Structure 1
Amino acid sequence: MTAAAGGWRARLGAYADPKMQAMLALGFSSGLPFLLVFSTLSAWLTQAGVKRATIGFFSWCGLAFSFKYLWSPLVDRLPLPLLGRLGRRRSWMLLSQLAVVLALIQMALADPAQDVVHVAVLAILLAFAAATQDIALDAWRIESTPADRAGPLTGAFQIGYRIALIAAGAGALFAAAEFGWRSAYLLMAALMATGLITTCLITEPTADPRRGFAHEARVTAFLHERSGWPRWLRESGAWFIGAVVCPFLDLFRRLHPGHGVLVLAFIVVYRLSDFTMGVMANNFYLSLGFTLKEIASISKIFGVLVTMAGVAVAGGLIARWGVGRTLTVGVVTVSLANLYFSWIASHPPDLAGLAVAIAFDNIGVGIAGTAFVVYLSALPSPAYTATQYALLGMFWSAPCKWLAGYSGAIIEAIGFPLFFCYTAALGLPAIVLSMILSRKPALRETPAAG
């Protein structure tokens, strides 16, 4: 056996580990609802005859993913009745997964051609349930991952997520082409059983939910000493400050002094290019005359497999160059791919050319996305895992969703060629900031003590 063959066998053998398998399955559960709110839904709306500008505004349904920080303190600290015996993380995971299944079933029974507003409401509910699942899953993932296994376990979660994108992208499009959109969304609801079963089988992290910092203890003691205040006000005030205010302040205290603003600006702009382009991708492919099956094969199977290759490339680049340089490589690749899409949009439809463009774009997304997750996962404090990770998610995804909402209107005004030039230009601030921050640490050498 050659050394290379032995290395690949060892890597594949690692997936026999139950924790790796759990990460794969939970990554699948996390990724499955995502496209069903965005690009897969946009294909359904396109075929239902919904106006392009309205399809663009549908991306705002996904703002729940951006603003999940607003209810993440509840997921971080509030025990659930009945399900609570599963543990803090698993109980919220199971509840949100059941909500995702119910929302998908209701969407399957809806008809956007008859009542597009009803479908929009259901899409919002689906996004809210999926975002809540992500809060609990991200906290479970971070708290269950030992530092010496962060790379392989995070990679397993990302691969599971990408497999779900194949299912919710290509799988849903193939099912819709053969059996209709109702059957496609019912099938997606059935696939959520992967997450439900895994959540029931895994163990709860051993992290102490009350590990706080000295500043939280001081504020709580101060409020409890206000004997003249009503008891409910003292207790609710202490809970709110500990659950909402302290995580926010602690995150800023942890950022390295002198360039915390640069770090936050970088987080805000890093995913603008690929997210703004991605929401209208299926609409673009359909406008070129490609069928659902062709889109499923090229974009949703081949494209996602290339993205998984990008994930693997990102792991090698991070090991060799570090996270900072890998972030730069990822966003440069995505921006160049958008320029190539602009060229594609200016020429007659060509399936081979589209495949090259999708490969170029998706390998960049795989590199950028993986490096970004590693970067963000290093920032939360163990005391506020769910809340701080959700807060970081709000910083980057809210601007993405807001800009993406105008994408249909922009395309109607300037056309696809200039639109892709615009999305490529959105990557320029991220390129500059990633090059600056690759030379600077994001956090203080030691967390602020309080």
Structure 2
Amino acid sequence: MASTADTNTAPATPAAAAPAPRPKGWKLLKLALRKRKSACMLGFGFSSGLPYALLIGTLNAWLGEVGVNLATIGVLSWIGLSYSFKFLWSPLVDRFHLPLLDRIGRRKSWILLCQVVMIAGFAGLAATNPATDIGTFAIFAFISALASATQDVAVDAWRIDVADEDTPVELLSAIYQFGYRIASIVGGALALVLAARMSWPLVYLLMAGLIGVVIVVTLRAPDTDRPERETLHLALAQPGALAPRYRALALGVVGLSWLWAIATIVRFMASMLHEPVPGVPPPSVADFTKLYGPWVIFATVAVPLIVAAMTNWLRHRPGSTLNEPDTHASPLRTAANHLYVALVAPLAELASRLGWGVLIVLGMILTYTLCYNIWGSFAFPFYLEELKYTKDEVAFASKVFGIFMTILGISLGGYLFARLGRMPTILIGAILPILGNFVYADLAEGGANIDAIGRGLGLHALLGLFGFDDRMLRLLMAISFENISTGIAGAAFVAYMSGIVSRQYTAVQYALLSSLTFLIGSLGRGIAGEAFDQYGYATVFRWTAAAGLVAVVMVLLEWMRVSREARITAATRD
């Protein structure tokens, strides 16, 4: 597509009026990969997807194989909270100069540091026996997850920084997803295949070696210079902005709430992973979730929302805003401004724009992915330990066949979005995963209903031609329905959140809202692990399906809110 400048200066001839179209599809990808930044984006996508696949999914297969109980696996899965809370330290990644490493590039220095830490973390996992030293193993897993989440922050910033006319951010994002999906296959399917033929420690050492290969890409990648002066938060120094003392108070309240929530979770994780003391009952995930779970949600969601509403109220009170430009500058003020924009300003803008409707929006975001996020980390122990499928079978069904089903679901989500509209597609995306949980409950109980549907559709005979028996067909059908459902839900939800964010805070607001989608699910994984041990998989699958009904109710409320706003807007125009 020609730029605006090209269009304005080109002579008015038929040739100029009809410029050569930009290549599409594989031709565009092939053309883009000839450029260094596009090829580097593919490597960065791989480097982001590989640790996530290894730490959030594959690691649990290792733990289940060596006999670690599901309750402990559930607690250890809380390392995924690193990805939920990564926006908290994103200002540090954005502005802090790393000693010695900073010379290689503004973003590359952080990417390189994170890759080195991940290699060391995987080596630590390989050197630790989780069956006998789960505490040390958890520390290495947490360090690796923290480095992986931080790398994601730097990679996202790099992608936006280096985008240009020839390699726009949309293309770089698509290439990133391509690399991420390749890494999902390598960290999932290939890792399981290798684990069937060699030890788990050796598998993780090989995966660390792959990250080491990507370091070559990191060193060759282009980068952007740091701005010569602070320009990101000039609006906070202009007349009409909230006075620094009130911003500091708001930031202090929100920061303390977040710190309390994180410290509470980390403290419980540490107590859960300690060696049991004779005569002292072990800590209970269910008790922790019951006693502290609501307070964690209150501290990380309700408190920031209340503070955001208060800042909006203060901005309309005399004496609470700046009357003249604030010329004071210091490293402390700069850091505080970054944190304020990351923690307070996005919700303040959202609350100001949506009013009371922000409660419905946040409720929907918190619950939309709940019914499949809670048990997702237990998929491998379920397939391998409960159902006794082999690693090769699970690798093919979950990480090869399943990824294609996810891509199909994402495509269907885009089609439904175009044909039916935003809210109907979002509602379908909320309902289908609930049905998927019932499919998995049937699979846990032998798959009688799955077999009946498979025979009715002729799938047993069809897949039998490819050598799949009834047992494998059950797994493929369950994974197909689940991945297509979550693919539709994911496509609809990403489109919804992209539309709800403000252009003024696009990156920060989207990062914050997308982080909230993992919050309740991550906390719920702890109690899910204990519940699987006590009640069995089928019962818990039905419970989580019931939890998905909350998301359906929130979607209906949001649909009503959006429809009401549309009617008001139409009446105003008339």
Task: Name the TM-score class by shorter chain.
Answer: 0.7 to 0.9
The C-alpha deviation readout for 1:124-165, integer Å capped at 9, x for no partner, is: 111111111112223333555679966554343333222211
Q: Deviation of residue 394 (structure 1)?
A: 3.3
RMSD: 3.3
How many pairs does the alignment contain? 427
Amino acid at match of 1:187: L
Q: Deviation of residue 169 (structure 1)?
A: 0.9
Percent pairwise identity = 37
Structure 2, unmatched stretches of 5+, are 1-20, 246-327, 448-469, 570-574
1:257 to 337, 342, 354: 354
Q: In the aligned structure 1, how far is the partner of 2:423 from the partner of 2:41?
A: 25
Q: Which moved more, 1:178-187 or 1:317-326?
A: 317-326
The C-alpha deviation readout for 1:368-413, integer Å capped at 9, x for no partner, is: 3344445445666788776545433432222211101111111122
Q: Deviation of residue 106 (structure 1)?
A: 1.6
- Kindly indicate whether residue 530 of structure 2 is the aligned counterpart of residue 409 of structure 1: yes
Kept in 1, the 8 Å contact 2:53–2:183? The answer is: no
Structure 1, unmatched stretches of 5+, are 1-6, 224-232, 446-450
Partner of 1:164: 183
Kept in 2, the 8 Å contact 1:28–1:160? The answer is: yes
SS in 1 for 2:562: coil
Q: In the aligned structure 1, how far is the partner of 2:508 from the partner of 2:540?
A: 35
Choose between structure 1 and 2 for higher RCO, CA contacts under 8 A separated by at least 6 residues.
1
- Kindly indicate whether residue 68 of structure 2 is the aligned counterpart of residue 50 of structure 1: yes
Q: In the aligned structure 1, how far is the partner of 2:96 from the partner of 2:117?
A: 18
- Kindly indicate whether residue 336 of structure 2 is the aligned counterpart of residue 241 of structure 1: yes
CA 1:35–1:427 in 2, change beyond 3 Å: closer, same or farther?
A: same
Kept in 2, the 8 Å contact 1:142–1:377? The answer is: no
Partner of 2:232: 211
Partner of 2:373: 275
CA 1:196–1:327 in 2, change beyond 3 Å: closer, same or farther?
A: farther
Partner of 1:34: 52
Q: TM-score, normalised by structure 2?
A: 0.67
Partner of 2:28: 14
Q: TM-score, normalised by structure 1?
A: 0.84
CA 1:365–1:161 in 2, change beyond 3 Å: closer, same or farther?
A: farther
CA 1:220–1:425 in 2, change beyond 3 Å: closer, same or farther?
A: closer
Kept in 1, the 8 Å contact 2:75–2:526? The answer is: yes
The C-alpha deviation readout for 1:197-251, integer Å capped at 9, x for no partner, is: 443344336896733252255679968xxxxxxxxx9735412321111333321
2:543 to 410, 416, 422: 422
Q: 1:48-447 to 2 correspondence within 5 Å? A: 48-143=66-161, 153-193=172-212, 195-204=214-223, 210-216=231-237, 235-255=330-350, 256-258=353-355, 259-286=357-384, 287-321=386-420, 324-347=423-446, 350-376=471-497, 387-437=508-558, 440=562
Q: In the aligned structure 2, how far is the partner of 1:337 from the partner of 1:70?
A: 34
Kept in 2, the 8 Å contact 1:62–1:127? The answer is: yes
CA 1:13–1:193 in 2, change beyond 3 Å: closer, same or farther?
A: farther
Q: Determine which structure has more spread, i.e. the larger CA radius of gyration.
A: 2
Q: Deviation of residue 43 (structure 1)?
A: 0.9
The C-alpha deviation readout for 1:76-124, integer Å capped at 9, x for no partner, is: 2222223323443332222212211221122122211221111111111
Q: In the aligned structure 2, how far is the partner of 1:322 from the partner of 1:92?
A: 40
Amino acid at match of 2:403: V
Partner of 1:3: none
CA 1:241–1:152 in 2, change beyond 3 Å: closer, same or farther?
A: same
Q: Deviation of residue 34 (structure 1)?
A: 1.2
Q: In the aligned structure 2, how far is the partner of 1:414 from the partner of 1:260?
A: 37
CA 1:216–1:275 in 2, change beyond 3 Å: closer, same or farther?
A: farther
CA 1:377–1:53 in 2, change beyond 3 Å: closer, same or farther?
A: same
